[in-house]
Chain A
Amino acid sequence: MKKHRFRLGLLATMIAAPLISMACPALAEDGVTDKEIRIGAFGPFGGPVYLYGRLVMNGVDAVFQKVNEAGGVHGRKLVLVREDDNCKPEGAIAAVKKLAYQDKVFGIIGGACSNATLAATPEIEKSGLPMIVNSAVADGITTPPKKNIFTTQLTSSIESRAQIDRAIKLGAKKIAVVRMTDAWAMARYNPLMAYAKEKGIKFVANVELQIDAPDATPQALKLRAAGADAVIMLLYAKPGAVMIRDSLKIGYKPYWLGETAINDFAAFQKQVGIPNALEKFATITAVAYQPTDPEMAPWTKRIKSLFPNDELSTFNMNGIGSAEVLVEALKLAGKDLTREKFLAAMGKIKNFKTSVYAGTITCNPPKSHQCNQNPGWLGLVKGKIVHLD
């Protein structure tokens, strides 16, 4: 009797197996169906740094909308699944777990806050989900390279090196640094100090400025007293504007070297609010254009249609650039999409030109998963915002 049951079971299995395999496509990777590819994103929706989460995701959504209108990638529509991490390590870990095991997305695009993303990195590696980081700048996320994590954002060490190199190029004899003290700034400060040591540079002043400080006169007085002729800024736009404004007030005009947190030059001019205040200011940019440039008009229109209260911002543009890289990799991975094929496709991306990034995107796995190595510089020449050499 038992033998008979075994044979019946075997027969049923033999009949059922092909039927099951017919019902589910061979490529049944989580997050992929015949009609759609579900991509996860995590970052803050609220709090002081929502810009790096919600607005960057809005940029990703704009690209997805454009791709979907054109028929999707290999016939599949792209769907963005958003998770709020509150910019906290525990929030990011929970968000990755939810995206991987509950929402069952194919991969992730996002990671806004450096500390939060860094904390979630082991969980991302464990899940095997391909991830493209588009905001967090901490080098530790992609150094040493992790098989399934790439970044299209300039990392903190790339920017810090560029700031010191620029100060040297300008012929500065006395270099100083003004910085915030939060996790974002520290992710930049540590590589900055390491590179300064490598170059034999000793900062003549090293002052702190809080993110919400309404005044920076004490800092300006200290920088002036130290005789710094170039000041490296590790500041958001608001403290940056206050710093330059109060330095001008005391007649102190060094070279100011900003980073990508101040890459909307036109907006920064208005934030500082004093005519000709930025003549000696230059800042690193990951993007090639200002939001108001005519080249960005199609994206302005699309963002406005999706999010009527919003204006196109450089935060949106970071999302747009990273999403274009994701789409390119999905195309290269082919119709039979698997995570392995996607990761292999990321490795094939060489000199890829997006519609927003200042430089081209090249991923060099397994050596480097930092795919954006091209910091651009913005400055004023004869009153016009231009890309500097």
Chain B
Amino acid sequence: MEVFSYLLATGMTTGALYALVALGIVVIFKATNVVNFAHGEMFMLGGFLAYTFHIMLGLPYIVSLVLAVAGTFVLGILVDRIAFRPLMARQSLVSVLLAMVAISFILKGVARELWGGKGDYLPFPPIVSPQPIMFGNIMIMSQQIVVFFAAIAIMIIFGLFFTYTRIGKFMQATADNAKAAKLVGLKIDRIYMYTFGIGSAVAGAAAVLMAPLTLLYPDIGFVLFIKGFAAATLGGLTSIPGAIIGGLAIGIIEQMAAGYVYTGLQDVAAFVVIMVVLIFIPNGILGQSGVRKV
């Protein structure tokens, strides 16, 4: 029972990590119908920005967090202005996706130049005590609990944002039918810009919370993006609660497979399950189907 408890708890905390990444992917997809393949690099840069402000420049933790979030927000807007907007104007979705991949490579290269010579894996201090704490009959890292509740909090905030704010509703309307949204007077370019900014800012915030657990290095973005994307796909690319469910499911499957079957399965088990699930539920657990009401 102790082993099961540990695997379940760490599955949930690791899953929360994936869910945080998935949330940003879903926010952008929900509004633009585009998967931001550079989302992992936004996360990576958010972490490095926080490292620069807090470790290198000695600014307080909270100030560094705010600046990292602001930095990734600006970066998200730049991605929109440089790649998304001009390419979408030509109705070229494939070009947009390729541009996102290109941006991810460029950002990785920039990170290697700026921070790559400072060490192999850069540590970042946790917001809470680094010591594990007792939780029921098992020990959990304090920072993992912070990440878990942060994922839930961000999910709730976005749920409220999309339901109750004007800009949130505009984003949903634009995602549902961009042409119709434009016809009724919505400035969809501006909405896309905010979407990229907000999605990237989520990555920035997530990076600061997760960096003490994942450490910082230029290639961390891609690894987490793959897991986050898998979580978003499993949960349903248009569903914010789905991102959380998908993330937790992947985390738990990974831990159980490694704990009860074979440690070598840790990395692949979730993908096998996703393949099987998507055969039967192509839109993911909570994803919307392509059918529209008339």
Is the Cβ of B217 less than 8 Å from the Cβ of A238? Answer: yes
Is the Cβ of A267 less than 8 Å from the Cβ of B120? Answer: yes
Q: What are 10 pairs between A and B in contact, CB < 8 Å? A: A54-B116, A181-B264, A209-B263, A212-B223, A215-B255, A217-B259, A221-B7, A225-B3, A249-B141, A313-B120
* Binary contact track A243-282/B, C-beta < 8 Å → 1, others 0: 0011011110000000000001001001101110000000
| CB of A310 within 8 Å of the partner chain | yes
Q: How far is the CA of A71 from the CA of B65 in the complex (A)?
A: 49
Is the Cβ of A208 less than 8 Å from the Cβ of B3? Answer: no
Question: Which of A208, A273, A309 lies in contact with B117, CB distance below 8 A?
Answer: A309
Is the Cβ of B132 less than 8 Å from the Cβ of A210? Answer: no
Q: A47-B219, A236-B120, A245-B141 are in contact. List 18 more A-B contacts (CB 8 A).
A: A50-B116, A208-B262, A218-B258, A238-B121, A238-B215, A238-B217, A241-B121, A250-B6, A264-B119, A264-B120, A267-B120, A267-B121, A274-B130, A274-B131, A307-B117, A311-B117, A313-B118, A313-B119
Is the Cβ of B140 less than 8 Å from the Cβ of A249? Answer: yes
Is the Cβ of B119 less than 8 Å from the Cβ of A311? Answer: yes
| CB of A24 within 8 Å of the partner chain | no
Is the Cβ of B114 less than 8 Å from the Cβ of A309? Answer: yes
List of A residues within 8 angstroms of B189 by Cβ? none
| CB of B33 within 8 Å of the partner chain | no
Closest to A221 in B: B3
Is the Cβ of B219 less than 8 Å from the Cβ of A215? Answer: no
List of A residues within 8 angstroms of B138 by Cβ? 250
List of A residues within 8 angstroms of B131 by Cβ? 274-275
Q: How far is the CA of A303 from the CA of B62 in the complex (A)?
A: 32
* Binary contact track B110-145/A, C-beta < 8 Å → 1, others 0: 001111111111010110001110000011110000
| CB of B212 within 8 Å of the partner chain | yes
Is the Cβ of A267 less than 8 Å from the Cβ of B119? Answer: yes
Question: Which of A238, A246, A311 lies in contact with B118, CB distance below 8 A?
Answer: A311
Q: How far is the CA of A325 from the CA of B29 in the complex (A)?
A: 55
Closest to B268 in A: A210
| CB of B77 within 8 Å of the partner chain | no
Q: How extensive is the interface on chain A, given as a class?
A: 35 or more
Q: How far is the CA of A213 from the CA of B6 in the complex (A)?
A: 16
List of B residues within 8 angstroms of A311 by Cβ? 117-119
Query: In the assembled complex, how far is the CB of residue B156 from the closest CB belonging to chain A, in whole angstroms?
Result: 24
Is the Cβ of B266 less than 8 Å from the Cβ of A270? Answer: no
Query: In the assembled complex, how far is the CB of residue A12 from the closest CB belonging to chain B, in whole angstroms?
Result: 56
* Binary contact track B217-235/A, C-beta < 8 Å → 1, others 0: 1011001000000000000
Query: In the assembled complex, how far is the CB of residue A350 from the closest CB belonging to chain B, in whole angstroms?
Result: 33
Closest to B17 in A: A214
Is the Cβ of B120 less than 8 Å from the Cβ of A237? Answer: yes
Question: Which of A50, A221, A313 lies in contact with B6, CB distance below 8 A?
Answer: A221
Is the Cβ of B132 less than 8 Å from the Cβ of A212? Answer: no
Is the Cβ of B121 less than 8 Å from the Cβ of A250? Answer: no
| CB of A48 within 8 Å of the partner chain | yes
Q: How far is the CA of A221 from the CA of B11 in the complex (A)?
A: 14
Is the Cβ of B132 less than 8 Å from the Cβ of A46? Answer: no
Question: Which of A214, A221, A271, A274 lies in contact with B259, CB distance below 8 A?
Answer: A221
Given contacts A51-B120, A218-B263, A245-B141, is CB(A273)–CB(B10) below 8 Å? no
List of A residues within 8 angstroms of B28 by Cβ? none
List of B residues within 8 angstroms of A274 by Cβ? 130-131
Is the Cβ of A313 less than 8 Å from the Cβ of B258? Answer: no
| CB of B283 within 8 Å of the partner chain | no
Q: How far is the CA of A245 from the CA of B116 in the complex (A)?
A: 24
List of A residues within 8 angstroms of B125 by Cβ? 273
Is the Cβ of A275 less than 8 Å from the Cβ of B130? Answer: yes
* Binary contact track B1-17/A, C-beta < 8 Å → 1, others 0: 00100110010011001
Q: How far is the CA of A225 from the CA of B2 in the complex (A)?
A: 12
Q: How far is the CA of A181 from the CA of B263 in the complex (A)?
A: 11
Is the Cβ of A208 less than 8 Å from the Cβ of B116? Answer: no
* Binary contact track A282-301/B, C-beta < 8 Å → 1, others 0: 00000000000000000000
| CB of B22 within 8 Å of the partner chain | no
Is the Cβ of A212 less than 8 Å from the Cβ of B220? Answer: yes
Query: In the assembled complex, how far is the CB of residue A278 from the closest CB belonging to chain B, in whole angstroms?
Result: 13
Question: Which of A213, A246, A273, A275 lies in contact with B266, CB distance below 8 A?
Answer: A213
Query: In the assembled complex, how far is the CB of residue A9 from the closest CB belonging to chain B, in whole angstroms?
Result: 58
| CB of A222 within 8 Å of the partner chain | yes
List of A residues within 8 angstroms of B116 by Cβ? 50-51, 54-55, 309
Closest to B133 in A: A249
| CB of A28 within 8 Å of the partner chain | no
Is the Cβ of A309 less than 8 Å from the Cβ of B113? Answer: yes
| CB of B243 within 8 Å of the partner chain | no
From 54 to 76 in chain A, residues with beta carbon under 8 angstroms from any chain B beta carbon are 54-55, 58
Query: In the assembled complex, how far is the CB of residue A353 from the closest CB belonging to chain B, in whole angstroms?
Result: 27
| CB of A207 within 8 Å of the partner chain | yes
Q: How far is the CA of A275 from the CA of B121 in the complex (A)?
A: 18
| Most chain B beta-carbon contacts within 10 A, residue among A51, A54, A212, A214 | A214
Q: How far is the CA of A193 from the CA of B81 in the complex (A)?
A: 55
Q: How far is the CA of A177 from the CA of B155 in the complex (A)?
A: 40
| CB of A219 within 8 Å of the partner chain | yes
* Binary contact track A306-349/B, C-beta < 8 Å → 1, others 0: 01011101010000000000000000000000000000000000
List of B residues within 8 angstroms of A275 by Cβ? 130-131
Query: In the assembled complex, how far is the CB of residue B58 from the closest CB belonging to chain A, in whole angstroms?
Result: 16
Query: In the assembled complex, how far is the CB of residue B57 from the closest CB belonging to chain A, in whole angstroms?
Result: 14
List of B residues within 8 angstroms of A47 by Cβ? 219
Closest to A261 in B: B120
Question: Which of B6, B114, B119, B123 lies in contact with A217, CB distance below 8 A?
Answer: B6
Question: Which of B6, B114, B115, B130 lies in contact with A273, CB distance below 8 A?
Answer: B130
Q: How far is the CA of A218 from the CA of B11 in the complex (A)?
A: 10
Question: Which of A46, A54, A207, A215 lies in contact with B10, CB distance below 8 A?
Answer: A215
| CB of B213 within 8 Å of the partner chain | yes
From 258 to 294 in chain B, residues with beta carbon under 8 angstroms from any chain A beta carbon are 258-259, 262-264, 266-267
Closest to A181 in B: B264
Closest to B138 in A: A250
Query: In the assembled complex, how far is the CB of residue B20 from the closest CB belonging to chain A, in whole angstroms?
Result: 12
| Most chain B beta-carbon contacts within 10 A, residue among A213, A215, A219, A311 | A215
Q: How far is the CA of A225 from the CA of B131 in the complex (A)?
A: 23
List of A residues within 8 angstroms of B255 by Cβ? 215, 217-218
Closest to A236 in B: B120
